[in-house]
């Protein structure tokens, strides 16, 4: 059965990767981007994967509730409803000490990662309750589990907040027709990750890359698993679909430090 799916921030990175994998499996996708240009580029990049599935894109600033509502309305009109809504849109602050981060930058991170998730959940909850079914997923990220990293004070705080918020919704809506859960991709090399290289001292970036080469993955590795897990989870409430679980992470470090196996996720990339 083909599902109708909305992915916020679906024009690049994990969002676009998931959109591609849903389309390849015959599901209909509505993805969003901040501008018409980004949406057009995202659609062009996914066109070859759509096949018979429907693919639409709608510009949306997720911090604007009215624009998020327009995404629901557009997707529901085109597809006849929305089965799965994925709050993927997110941005990170540049990796700097807090006092060096401009107010506009942390406003943008908070508005996108927290307010954007609030708006997506509100719109999807109202629409899905009216149609009598639906699944909402919020993305976790660094900081969701309370870990602290230098230079990630703002981003980590927003992801910690998203985890609390999602846990609260899972409790509040346990008896509703709407199911809510988490998507946890681990560390994925995206454009957002590579931007860090331009704002870190070379020695710190080299150290960061060494860790990423042990524990991180590429979009094309993670997104097929996330999509299969999401589809299999349909109808379940309170799930945490985590690609990088503890046993897998421990295995990565064992291979790196004991078996001396090397990975290079940055080969061919400008980092």
Task: List the domains of the chain with CATH numbers.
Answer: 4-188+218-245 (3.40.50.720)
Q: Residue 196 has what pLDDT? A: 64
Across the range 19-42, mean pLDDT stands at 97
Beta bridge mates, 85? 6, 136
- Written as six digits, the tokens of 6 are 């909305």
Across the range 26-53, mean pLDDT stands at 96
Across the range 110-139, mean pLDDT stands at 98
Could you read off the pLDDT of 231-259 as tens digits, one per residue?
A: 999 999 999 999 998 899 899 998 989 88
Q: How far apart are CA 93 and CA 110, in angstroms?
A: 10
Give every CB contact of residue 124 below 8 A, 6+ residues apart in sequence: 6, 72, 82, 85, 134, 136, 178
DSSP annotation string for 92-128? ---SS-GGGS-HHHHHHHHIIIIIHHHHHHHHHHHHH
Identify whether the C-beta of residue 95 lies closer than 8 Å to the C-beta of residue 150. Answer: yes
Please state, for a pLDDT cut of 70, what percent of the chain lies above it.
Answer: 97
Q: Which band of pLDDT confidence, cut at 50, 70 and 90, is reported for residue 7?
A: very high
CB atoms within 10 A of CB 259: 8
Q: How far apart are CA 230 and CA 3, in angstroms?
A: 11
DSSP 187: S
Q: How far apart are CA 22 and CA 78, in angstroms?
A: 17
Q: Residue 271 has what pLDDT? A: 41
Q: Residue 259 has what pLDDT? A: 87
Half-sphere exposure in the Cβ direction for 68 (13 Å, CA):
26
Exposure pattern of 9-39 as b/e (b: 16+ CB <10 Å)? bbbbbbbbbbbbbbbebebbbbbbbbeeebb
Closest C-alpha to 18, from 99, 84, 79? 84
- pLDDT at residue 270 above 60? no
Long-range contacts of 226-232 (CB under 8 A, 24+ apart): 226/14, 226/18, 226/21, 226/183, 226/185, 227/18, 227/21, 227/22, 227/25, 228/21, 230/18, 230/84, 230/86, 230/135, 230/137, 230/183, 231/3, 231/25, 231/27
Across the range 142-146, mean pLDDT stands at 93
Could you read off the pLDDT of 100-109 as tens digits, one per residue?
A: 999 999 999 9
DSSP 157: H
Of the listed ranges 36-45, 129-138, 201-210, the one predicted with least confidence: 201-210
- Written as six digits, the tokens of 148 are 């602290």
Q: How far apart are CA 154 and CA 54, in angstroms?
A: 37
Q: Residue 231 has what pLDDT? A: 98
Q: How far apart are CA 80 and CA 220, in angstroms?
A: 30
Could you read off the pLDDT of 154-205 as tens digits, one per residue?
A: 999 999 999 999 999 999 999 999 999 999 999 999 877 776 666 677 888 8
């Amino acid at each position: 059965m083909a599902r109708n799916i909305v992915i916020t921030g679906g024009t690049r990175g994990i969002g676009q990767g998931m959109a591609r994998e849903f389309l390849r499996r015959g599901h209909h996708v509505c993805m969003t981007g901040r501008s018409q240009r980004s949406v057009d580029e995202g659609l062009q990049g996914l066109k070859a994967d759509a096949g018979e599935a429907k693919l639409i894109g709608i510009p949306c600033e997720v911090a604007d509730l009215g624009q998020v509502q327009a995404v629901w309305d557009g997707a529901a009109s085109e597809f006849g409803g929305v089965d799965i809504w994925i709050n993927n849109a997110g941005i990170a602050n540049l990796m700097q000490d807090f006092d060096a981060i401009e107010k506009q930058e942390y406003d943008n991170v908070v508005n996108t990662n927290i307010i954007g998730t609030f708006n997506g959940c509100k719109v999807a909850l109202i629409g899905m309750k009216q149609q009598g079914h639906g699944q909402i997923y919020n993305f976790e990220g660094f900081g969701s589990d309370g870990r602290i990293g230098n230079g990630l004070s703002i981003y980590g705080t927003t992801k910690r907040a998203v985890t609390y918020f999602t846990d609260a919704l899972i409790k509040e809506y346990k008896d509703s027709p709407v199911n809510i859960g988490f998507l946890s991709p681990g560390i994925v090399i995206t454009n957002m990750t590579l931007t860090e290289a331009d704002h870190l001292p070379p020695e710190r970036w080299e150290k960061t890359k060494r860790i990423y080469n042990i524990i991180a993955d590429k979009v094309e590795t993670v997104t097929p698993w996330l999509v299969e897990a999401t589809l299999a989870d349909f109808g379940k409430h309170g799930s945490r679909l985590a690609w990088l679980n503890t046993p897998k992470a421990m295995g990565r470090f064992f291979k790196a430090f004991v078996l001396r196996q090397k990975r290079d996720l940055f080969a061919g990339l400008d980092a």
